[in-house]
Amino acid sequence: MRIAYPDPHPVPDSAPEALQILQTADALASLGHEVSVITPRPEGDADPAAVLGRPASDSLRLVHVADLRKRWWMPGRSNKGFQMQAAAWLRRNPVDALLVRNLKLADALLGDPACPPLFFETHEIFAQTYREEHPRPDLRRRHKLRTLESREARVYGRSRGLLVLTDLLAQDVRSHYATAVPIHVAPDGVDLASAGAAAASGTSAPNSVPVALYLGSLHPWKGVDTLVRAAALGGTWDLRIAGGDARRIAELSALARSLGVGDRVRLIGPVAPAERFALIGRADVCLLPLTRTSIASRYTSPLKLFEYMAMGRPIVVADLPSIREVVRDGEHALLVPPEDPAAIAAAVARLAADPALRERLGRAAAALAPSYSWERRAERIAAFMAAELAAPAAPVRGT
C-alpha cells in the first residue's frame, strides 16, 4: 500500500505524539508499504535516527513543508495553512490510504470529495475529555464543546475505518456517536530492538537507596503529583521524574519542597528519546500513576508502560480498566488504587524489600512485551486497512 500520514506536529520530534507517529509509520514501512509522513519542518535535527536510535526503513519518506504558523499573516497558531499544504500534496501524489490522528485535519480532509480513503486513529473521545477539563463551562466553552462534538461525529461517521487504543475506547465511540464505521483496536507499542540493545549493555545493580522512576509527560491526568505525595510519606527510596516542560517541572518542584521532600524528589527534565531505555534500566522500580479521568482510565495505551515492560523492570501502576487490558496484578506488575499516595508508597517499599518479587515481575513483564511491539501493531493496522479497502465503502454518515 501507498500510505500518507499527515500531521500538523513536526516529525521527528521528542514529543510523545511525534514519537508515536514516527514509530508507527516506520513499522508500517518495514513491512514493505510506501509510507509518507507529511508534517511541518522540525526546528532541530530532522534525522529520524536521532529518535529511533537506528536508521529508518528505506520505505519511509519524511515530507516537510513550511510551518506557516510562524508567518505574520497566519492568525494565532492555526493549522489551516498546514491543512492546505497537506491537501495540495495529496492532489499531486496519489495514495491508497490516509492515516490521520489529528481531528481537525481529518475533518478538513474528509470535506474534500477527492479525499483518499481515510483511517482515523483516535486516542480519546475529545468531547469527553473537554467536559472533564471544564466541568462548569461558560457560554463560550459550551459553544466550543458543541463544535467539538459535531466535528467528532463527522470524522467518526465519514472515515473508512477507525483505529483505537483500547477496547473501552471502541465501546465509548460506538456508544457516544453510534457510528457504523469499522473499528479496530491497536494498542501502542515499544521498540524491542532499542530496548534489547539497552538491556544487553546491562541494567544497573540495585541502587544503595532504591530509585523509583516516572518517565513521560507531566499532564495533570498522568497523576504525577500523586508520586510526589507518596514520597512524602516516608520510606527509604528516592523518586526520579523525567520529562515535562519548565512550568510543570517548577510546579512539581514546589510541591516537593512544600512537603519537605525536595532532597528525595529529583526532576530530571526532558530525556532524549534514544536515552530513555538506559534511564529505565538504572531504576529499581518504574511508576505509572494515572488518574480516574476517562483518558487515563479507559482510553490510554501508555508508551512508557510498554517500555518499562520491555526493559524487565518491576512496575507499580494505577489499577484502571485501560491498564488491566494489558497487565495483571501480581503477575506482570503491582496494581494500586489510582490517586492513592499511600498505596504507591507501600508498593514501592514492598518491591524495594523483596528482590525475588522484583525479579519475577520484571521477567513476566519482559515476556509479555513482544505482544506489543511496533511491528506487531503495524501488522494489525495494515491488515485492517487492507481488508477495509477491499470491502465496499460503508454509507457516509455524520455529514
pLDDT at 46 exceeding the cut of 80: no
| Judgement on whether residues 218 and 165 belong to the same structural domain of the protein | no
What mean pLDDT do residues 249-278 have? Answer: 95
The CATH number assigned to the domain holding 217 equals: 3.40.50.2000
| Judgement on whether residues 23 and 165 belong to the same structural domain of the protein | yes
| Judgement on whether residues 303 and 231 belong to the same structural domain of the protein | yes
Angstrom CA distances, 203 to 196, 231, 274, 280, stand at 11, 24, 16, 8
- Number of domains composing the chain: 2
- What pLDDT sits at residue 199? 85
Alpha-carbon gap, residue 157 to 398, rounded angstroms: 5
| Judgement on whether residues 175 and 300 belong to the same structural domain of the protein | no
| Judgement on whether residues 92 and 215 belong to the same structural domain of the protein | no
pLDDT digits (tens, 9 = 90+) for 218-246: 999 999 999 999 999 988 999 999 999 99
| Judgement on whether residues 155 and 209 belong to the same structural domain of the protein | no
Judge whether 395 lies within some domain.
no
| Judgement on whether residues 156 and 224 belong to the same structural domain of the protein | no
CA 108 to chain centre: 23
What mean pLDDT do residues 253-266 have? Answer: 97
Which segments of 60-145 are extended strands (E)? 60-65, 97-100, 118-122
Structural domain boundaries, residue 222: 192-371
Judge whether 288 lies within some domain.
yes
- What pLDDT sits at residue 353? 93
Judge whether 398 lies within some domain.
no
With cut-offs at 50, 70 and 90, classify the pLDDT of residue 386: very high
Of 73-82, 111-120, 298-307, 341-350, minimum mean pLDDT range: 73-82
pLDDT at 252 exceeding the cut of 60: yes
Judge whether 397 lies within some domain.
no
pLDDT at 76 exceeding the cut of 60: no
Judge whether 106 lies within some domain.
yes
| Judgement on whether residues 169 and 201 belong to the same structural domain of the protein | no
pLDDT at 88 exceeding the cut of 80: yes
What mean pLDDT do residues 80-86 have? Answer: 93
Where do we find the cell 540495585? 206
| Judgement on whether residues 246 and 363 belong to the same structural domain of the protein | yes
- Cα angle: 63, vertex 50, 371; to 5 degrees: 90
Judge whether 399 lies within some domain.
no
| Judgement on whether residues 107 and 40 belong to the same structural domain of the protein | yes
Indicate the pTM of the whole model: 0.94
pLDDT at 122 exceeding the cut of 60: yes
The phi and psi torsions of 184 (rounded to 5 degrees) equal -130, 135
For the chain, helix (H) and strand (E) counts, in that order, are: 17, 13
pLDDT at 397 exceeding the cut of 60: no
pLDDT at 338 exceeding the cut of 90: yes
pLDDT digits (tens, 9 = 90+) for 12-34: 998 889 999 999 999 999 999 99
Alpha-carbon gap, residue 280 to 240, rounded angstroms: 11
Question: Quick one: cell of 231?
Answer: 514520597
What mean pLDDT do residues 164-169 have? Answer: 98
CA 82 to chain centre: 22
pLDDT digits (tens, 9 = 90+) for 171-196: 999 999 999 999 999 999 999 999 99
| Judgement on whether residues 200 and 321 belong to the same structural domain of the protein | yes
- What pLDDT sits at residue 74? 54
Q: How many CA atoms lie within 13 A of 2 on its CB side?
A: 6
pLDDT at 336 exceeding the cut of 70: yes
In the three-class reduction of DSSP (H, G, I as helix; E, B as strand; rest coil), residue 82 is classed as helix
With cut-offs at 50, 70 and 90, classify the pLDDT of residue 259: very high
